[in-house]
Chain A
Amino acid sequence: MKHFVLFTFIMLFASITFALPTISDMINNPDIYNGKFLTVQGQAVGSVMKRGNYAWVNMTDGSQTLGFWMPYSLAKEIKYTASYDFKGDLLTVEGTFVAMSLEHDGDMEFDVSKIVKIIPGGKISHEINSGRVIFLIVIASLAFVLWILKRKFFTSKS
């Protein structure tokens, strides 16, 4: 029992000490993370927006999304960003969390200095849902029959 308690304590301590903060952690606790050099993971979403020699890349942890400001030379390494058709690249980046950027009108942001790792995303194949197709045919047929009935036999007096 003593060993189990010790193991649990060590694991808990390790997870608190070494776990990467999530994007939601930073957004929800800006005072704790402000100005800290961190390693963060997230999926690139939307568009890579080039601004001069830099670029904005919005990244999500699945719950919340934050803007990552990085040199365009780093942003060019991103091949896929998440959309309906694509799974975005999963990036591990190093840099500084800024709770209120004076450079960017007070926005909360993460200034990236290095991309540590990229797990590439890719095309998502959306299989057509045959059950829904059948339901569509049935309900569309019903609507069509009702339309014919309405036109032929039950035209309103107005």
Chain B
Amino acid sequence: MSKKIVYSDLKLINYHTAKIVETMGWVMAIPLVTALLFEEWNTAIDFGIGMAVSFAFGFALEILCRDHDEEMDWLHGMFIAAYAWLILTVIDAIPGYLSGHYASFLDAVFDVMSGFTTTGLVLIQRMYDLSIGMNMWRALLTFIGGQGMIVLSLSFLIGMRGGYMMYMGEGKSEKLLPSVTKTARAIWDISMIYLGVGTLALFIAGLAIGLKPVSALLNGLWIFMSAWSTGGFAPHSQNILYYHSMLYMLITMVIFIIGSFNFALHYAVMNKNRKEIYKNIETQSFFITVLITFTIVAIGLVRNNVYPNAVILFTKGFYQLISAHTTTGFMNIYPSQFGSWGTLAMVGITIAMLIGGSTSSTAGGIKGMRIGIIAKSFVFETKKLFMSPKTVKIQKFHNQEDIDLNNEIVKNAMVITMMYILSFVVGLIITLIYKYPIEKAAFEVASALGNVGLTSGITVPSMPDVLKVLYIILMWVGRLEFMAVIAFVAYPFIGAKRR
């Protein structure tokens, strides 16, 4: 009996996964058309193959699972989110691998997971002769990954039931509108408005710094998609250093700070509720933790005499700190230059990477909400020690509305935070086995787990395959915030028992 139940569950899971794979197959039409426009025939063929494999796989799964159950529960939704991300990562690595810019298929898979999770660590080689179609695809990976592939599928597909469970599984929790489909569309609407404004700003800046119009437009579009998604992919191996421009750097910083905020906050601001910006627990938490971590970084840099004046210290130190805190991963220094930063500054950046951006945003990390809740709870519990036992006081926090800070909320925040720390420790131990210095290893693991993308130089094509697989898992776990991955791992054991 239980076997039959598990089989029908698998049909339901695979049916919805098929739909998501097909959606991403359609997305490949964008780089395909781009490649055709720029007469990059081989790139177009590579994306044609990627699309055909996506559709063949999706249609075959749909046929096999056509008589699936209708009822979806939380476990299904969570499982689908984790499972679909893995399947997509493998299938969507095909065009990249065929491009010849990767040493192995594993490297191509690594970059796709890095893109989807908006991490930004890369193993791609010879970026200077990468086709325009392939650059478009890399930008799309990070842009779509930031909003979520399930959010995309929910926005455009009719008939995906149990959407809210899958949506939650993808690490999003805010329901902006009563229906999850409308919420998914609202997320896309918000992103598309910023896409227009941000690309225009970067296009103008691109012209001002000497790029030709087509190049300025494409660079503006790709950098926007990456910055908004707090992704960190850039079309050049030098990342933001390529542009040699303070203006370009500042615009990207504004975009990725905004991108790291909760979609619900954007929605509130767009609906003229501007007070939410400074009342929201996540923006408050963000500014406090930025202040603390930047102080640590600045002290470290001054102590090591890394930069000759305050302007350069701010330009390099603050940009890297904000890039780390928002989990973007744009770099305006070379990875080898972190070597001169010293342990204290590296610790400051590592803490910022672990804290990360806001919940229900494109950012990774433990998230400002959880840090804010834990901090408020700690302060409240300390205050209670000095209160009369008869005093009844309720602590609240603000996220769209005033919410009572109850034990359940604090417990949930603590559980996820502990899981982050545990994953970080496990990742660090495995990295240390390969004899990397501890500050570099901690930096790289925090970067992968927090979906940041800054590198201390460990992530290179010649790194051990075990570490490539480890970082793929860390990026995946960090992006989906554990619950979906736990459901994925635990399903074979609890899937049959729960009924």
Contacts and interface: CB of A to CB of B under 8 A. Distances in A.
Interface of A: 27-28, 30, 43, 45-51, 55-56, 58, 60, 62, 64-67, 82-84, 88, 100, 102, 104-109, 124, 126, 128-129, 132-133, 135-136, 139-140, 142-143, 146-147, 149-150, 154-158
A45 B180 CA distance: 46
Nearest to A55: B210
15 contacts: A27-B334, A27-B336, A51-B209, A65-B128, A67-B242, A84-B131, A84-B132, A105-B312, A106-B312, A107-B332, A126-B40, A126-B41, A132-B42, A143-B56, A147-B59
Nearest to B60: A146
Contacts of A58: 236, 238, 242
B211 A49 contact: yes
Given A49-B210, A58-B242, A142 B45 contact: no
A82 B307 CA distance: 33
Main secondary structure of the interface of B (DSSP, over half): helix
Given A27-B334, A60-B128, A104 B244 contact: yes
B55 A143 contact: yes
Given A48-B210, A51-B210, A126-B42, A139 B238 contact: no
B111 interface: no
Nearest to A138: B52
Given A65-B236, A107-B244, A107-B332, 6 more contacts: A49-B210, A58-B238, A100-B308, A107-B241, A129-B42, A154-B63
A31 B42 CA distance: 43
Query: Which 3 interchain pairs have the tightest Cβ spacing?
Result: A49-B210, A106-B312, A146-B59
A149 B46 CA distance: 25
Interface in B164-215: 209-212, 215
Contact of A67 (B52, B244, B246, B312): B244
B8 interface: no
A49 B485 CA distance: 46
A142 B56 contact: yes
Given A55-B210, A107-B244, A157 B41 contact: no
A140 B51 CA distance: 8
A82 to B, nearest CB: 5
Nearest to B317: A106
A146 B237 contact: no
A58 B215 CA distance: 15
Interface string B111-148: 00000000000000010111110000000000000000
Contact of A132 (B66, B98, B215, B311): B98
A47 B41 contact: no
Contact of A129 (B45, B210, B312): B45
A128 B45 CA distance: 9
Contact of A106 (B63, B159, B307): B307
Binding site of A, secondary structure by majority: helix, strand, loop or mixed? Answer: mixed
B334 A108 contact: yes
Contacts of A30: 337
B70 interface: yes
A95 to B, nearest CB: 16
Contacts of A50: 210
A82 B237 CA distance: 13
Contacts of A132: 42, 45-46, 49, 98
Interface residues of B, number: 55
B334 to A, nearest CB: 5
Contacts of A28: 336
Nearest to B41: A128
Given A146-B60, A156-B66, A158-B159, A46 B45 contact: no
Nearest to A147: B59
B67 interface: yes
B158 to A, nearest CB: 10
B62 interface: yes
A46 B48 contact: no
A30 B237 CA distance: 19
A156 B62 contact: yes
B52 A139 contact: yes
B274 interface: no
B303 interface: no
B209 A49 contact: yes
B279 interface: no
Nearest to A81: B128
A150 B55 CA distance: 12
B210 A47 contact: yes
Contacts of A83: 128-129
Contacts of A67: 238, 241-242, 244
Contacts of B238: 58, 65-67
Nearest to B211: A47
Contacts of B130: 84
A156 B68 contact: yes
Contacts of A107: 241, 244, 332
A104 B146 CA distance: 32
B315 A106 contact: yes
A140 B212 CA distance: 37
Contacts of A129: 42, 45
A19 to B, nearest CB: 20
Given A28-B336, A132-B42, A46 B59 contact: no
Given A128-B41, A154-B62, A158-B161, A49 B336 contact: no
B471 interface: no
Contacts of B443: none
